[in-house]
Amino acid sequence: MKTILLVCSAGMSTSLLVTKMQKVAAEQNVESDISAVSASEVDQTLLEKDIDVLLLGPQVRYMKPQFDKKMAGKNIPVDIIDMKDYGMMNGVNVLAQAIKLIDNK
């Protein structure tokens, strides 16, 4: 099971991308739990579930150093979703990015 958390400013715009990623994961037989939250909800979400990777939407990329620091001792990779993939809601590429980060940790 790969647990992927997407973070954006309000948690709304990323929900469509989550849906597309879930569809791709099902087609590729990737067992996954993919969800999206706002940046302010990340701490609570981390208390509630173990995640494998944290992907930041382009609109919150400025928060990467803060999340790198938070995840440092937890072995949870943090990366920024490519702006083009985010804009195109490219579930295939974003899922591939998440899996690559999980596999390389």
In tens, the pLDDT along 5-63 reads 999 987 667 899 999 999 999 999 999 999 999 999 999 999 999 999 999 999 999 99
Give the residue ranges of DSSP H helices in the chain. Answer: 13-27, 42-48, 64-71, 83-87, 91-103
Query: Which pLDDT value is given to residue 53?
Result: 97
The answer to whether residue 29 is catalytic is no
Domains, the chain, with CATH or none: 2-103 (3.40.50.2300)
- Active-site residue, from 5, 6, 7, 8: 8
Query: Which pLDDT value is given to residue 105?
Result: 81
pLDDT (average), residues 63-70: 95
Query: Which pLDDT value is given to residue 11?
Result: 62
* Cβ 81 vs Cβ 57: under 8 Å: yes
Q: What is the pTM of this model?
A: 0.94
